């Protein structure tokens, strides 16, 4: 039996190692070869039995195996010239009870040409993967995930849990919230977490499509439906989203004549392209979003009540940023990191007065406005820190709406910091010259520079 035959086990292990793609050599603590697999011996022109007991330097030219033993250091992907070719070798010390007792060496690529071929092959595969990923994103359409919804507030956590709970299934979802709160981001997230994630995510802004084009945009048209129609017709958003998700953004702006047609599609699960006599079955989950008070629109006969109940099966309400101020700085820091990656800028510090101003501001534009503020500050700052001075005048005025609450001491410190910063810049950082110009001692100036983090 295999378990009871040590010799058989040894022969099997030796066969596996000898047939391995890598060349393998093992030396003891003195650099004496204890083992070398068959393929390595063949390359070196050595007899597998006679090589045992020789010093590794007498077997492998330019070897560092004996040095790996002495130094006890791991060497990975090292170039080594052997028999007219560069090899790519690894050397790993063997430890026992804290002492180096030997080393094992492997050659992964037997020459640099093999490595170049492998590298080119991998690059070709990566380019092919990138092509298919790009094609997939163009077809799928969903780019955001729930991880992109930044927030640590109780409200943000409840929204994330809500998304996870309703993502599965086919029920319609209505996402409500002010402009800039992240409604589209949540729509993407619901699709990504649903069983439809492998199918298309198609979106349409109901407020951006001209009314006379809306029907053909939603339901498509057949050939010859109207002057200028494409040959063969064109599928609408519902046909493109078949099997997946259709995101109707700003549904409160949907023209009234389209509301009844949309209701019919949602009820019958079929569309009739413009100019066609036949209906087409579609399997689409609808996610709608709005910043408008639909109930009030219903009272004013501007939105159909039956359509409201059809899309409002499941609902998510996103509170404005002013009602979840704990999320302001996590969001701002996320935008800073993202923008720095894109622009190559480096921001290491944000002044406390910026943080205070951000917390005091009401953010009528919500997350979108916060992102614009951050991007403007990073673009305009001349250093690696963001201060209120980095913001454009009109943004700074917005952020300083509570400036009257500052004390006289705050104003003095703020002015002092600006003056010292200005003189340092004007005098190229010459401390002595700045101190003389301001009429203070160098030690006092140093203290103020440290105090104001200049």
Examine the pLDDT at 125 and tell me if it is beyond 70: no
Examine the pLDDT at 107 and tell me if it is beyond 80: yes
Examine the pLDDT at 1 and tell me if it is beyond 60: no
Inter-CA distances, 338 with 91, 143, 371, 402, Å: 40, 15, 10, 29
Q: Residue holding tokens 């109940």? A: 309
What is the per-residue pLDDT for 132? Answer: 61
Query: Per residue in 77-88, is it b (16+ CB within 10 Å) or e — as a string?
Result: eeebebeeeebb
What is the per-residue pLDDT for 414? Answer: 79
Confidence of residue 347 (pLDDT cuts 50, 70, 90): confident
| More confident of the two residues 108 and 435 | 435
pTM: 0.59
For the ranges 82-91, 103-112, 337-346, the maximum mean pLDDT occurs at 337-346
What is the per-residue pLDDT for 331? Answer: 95
Residue 223 is encoded by which pair of tokens?
């050939």
What is the per-residue pLDDT for 401? Answer: 45
| Residue 359 neighbours by CB under 8 Å, 6+ apart | 325, 328
The CATH-assigned architecture of domain 146-319 is: 3-Layer(aba) Sandwich (3.40)
Q: What is the pLDDT of residues 229-278, one digit of tens each?
A: 667 678 889 999 999 999 999 999 999 889 999 999 999 999 988 888 78
| Every domain of the chain and the residues it spans | 12-109, 146-319, 322-405, 407-454
What is the per-residue pLDDT for 34? Answer: 92
What is the per-residue pLDDT for 111? Answer: 53
Confidence of residue 17 (pLDDT cuts 50, 70, 90): low
- The residue-averaged pLDDT of 337-356 equals 86
Q: Rounded to the nearest 5°, which phi and psi values hold at 230?
A: -65, 145
For the ranges 80-84, 112-116, 174-178, 393-397, the maximum mean pLDDT occurs at 174-178
Q: What is the pLDDT of residues 376-390, one digit of tens each?
A: 888 888 888 888 888
Q: Answer whether CATH 1.10.10.60 is correct for domain 407-454.
A: yes
For the chain, what is the mean pLDDT?
84
Q: What is the distance between the alpha carbons of residues 211 and 229, in angstroms, rounded to a whole number?
A: 17
Q: Percentage of the chain with pLDDT > 90?
A: 40
Same CATH topology for 12-109 and 407-454? Answer: no
- Least trusted range by pLDDT, from 111-125, 159-173, 428-442: 111-125
What is the per-residue pLDDT for 360? Answer: 86
What is the per-residue pLDDT for 199? Answer: 92
What is the per-residue pLDDT for 388? Answer: 83
Examine the pLDDT at 412 and tell me if it is beyond 80: no
- The residue-averaged pLDDT of 121-131 equals 64
C-alpha 434 chain-centroid distance: 46
Confidence of residue 404 (pLDDT cuts 50, 70, 90): very low
Examine the pLDDT at 42 and tell me if it is beyond 60: yes
CATH superfamily for domain 12-109: PAS domain (3.30.450.20)
Q: In this structure, are residues 387 and 352 in contact, taking their beta carbons and an 8 Å threshold?
A: no
| More confident of the two residues 19 and 421 | 421
Examine the pLDDT at 118 and tell me if it is beyond 80: no
| More confident of the two residues 223 and 240 | 240
The CATH-assigned architecture of domain 322-405 is: Orthogonal Bundle (1.10)
Q: What is the pLDDT of residues 272-313, one digit of tens each?
A: 888 887 888 999 999 999 999 999 999 999 999 999 999 999
What is the per-residue pLDDT for 174? Answer: 97
- Least trusted range by pLDDT, from 201-210, 215-224, 332-341: 215-224
Q: What is the pLDDT of residues 133-147, one digit of tens each?
A: 665 565 567 788 899
| More confident of the two residues 177 and 74 | 177
- The residue-averaged pLDDT of 222-226 equals 68
What is the per-residue pLDDT for 5? Answer: 65
- The residue-averaged pLDDT of 180-202 equals 93
């Amino acid at each position: 039996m295999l378990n009871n035959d040590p010799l058989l086990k040894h022969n099997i292990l030796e066969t596996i190692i000898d047939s391995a793609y890598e060349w393998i050599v093992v030396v003891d603590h003195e650099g004496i070869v204890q083992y070398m697999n068959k393929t390595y011996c063949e390359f070196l022109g050595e007899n597998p039995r006679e090589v045992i007991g020789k010093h590794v330097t007498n077997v492998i030219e330019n070897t560092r195996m004996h040095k790996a033993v002495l130094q006890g250091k791991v060497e990975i992907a090292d170039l080594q010239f052997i028999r007219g070719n560069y090899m790519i070798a690894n050397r790993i010390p063997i430890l026992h009870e804290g002492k180096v007792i030997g080393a094992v060496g492997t050659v992964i690529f037997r020459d640099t040409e093999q490595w170049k071929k492998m590298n080119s092959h991998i690059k070709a595969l990566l380019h092919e993967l990138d092509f298919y990923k790009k094609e997939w994103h163009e077809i799928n359409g969903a780019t955001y995930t729930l991880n992109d919804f930044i927030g640590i507030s109780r409200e943000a956590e409840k929204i994330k849990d809500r998304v996870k709970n309703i993502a599965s299934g086919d029920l319609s979802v209505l996402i409500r919230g002010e402009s800039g709160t992240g409604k589209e981001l949540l729509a993407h997230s619901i699709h990504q977490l649903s069983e439809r994630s492998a199918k298309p995510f198609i979106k349409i802004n109901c407020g951006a499509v001209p009314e006379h084009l809306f029907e053909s945009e939603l339901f498509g048209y057949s050939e010859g439906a109207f002057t200028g129609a494409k040959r063969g017709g064109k599928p609408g958003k519902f046909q493109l989203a078949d099997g997946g998700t259709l995101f109707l953004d700003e549904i409160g702006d949907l023209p009234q004549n389209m509301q009844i047609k949309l209701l019919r599609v949602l009820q019958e699960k079929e569309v009739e392209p413009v100019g066609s006599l036949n209906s087409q079955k579609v399997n689409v989950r609808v996610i709608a979003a709005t910043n408008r008070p639909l109930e009030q629109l219903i009272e004013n006969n501007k939105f159909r009540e039956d359509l409201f109940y059809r899309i409002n099966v499941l609902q998510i309400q996103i509170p404005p940023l002013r009602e979840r101020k704990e999320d302001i700085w996590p969001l701002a820091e996320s935008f800073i990191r993202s923008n720095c990656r894109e622009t190559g800028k480096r921001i290491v510090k944000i002044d406390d007065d910026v943080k205070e101003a951000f917390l005091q501001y009401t953010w009528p534009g919500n997350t979108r406005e916060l992102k614009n503020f951050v991007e403007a500050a990073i673009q305009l700052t001349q250093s690696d820190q963001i201060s209120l001075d980095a913001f454009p005048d009109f943004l700074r005025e917005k952020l300083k709406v509570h400036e009257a609450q500052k004390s006289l001491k705050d104003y003095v410190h703020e002015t002092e910091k600006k003056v010292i910063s200005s003189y340092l810049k004007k005098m190229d950082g010459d401390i002595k010259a700045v101190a003389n110009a301001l009429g203070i001692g160098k030690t006092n100036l140093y203290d103020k520079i440290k105090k104001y983090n200049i």
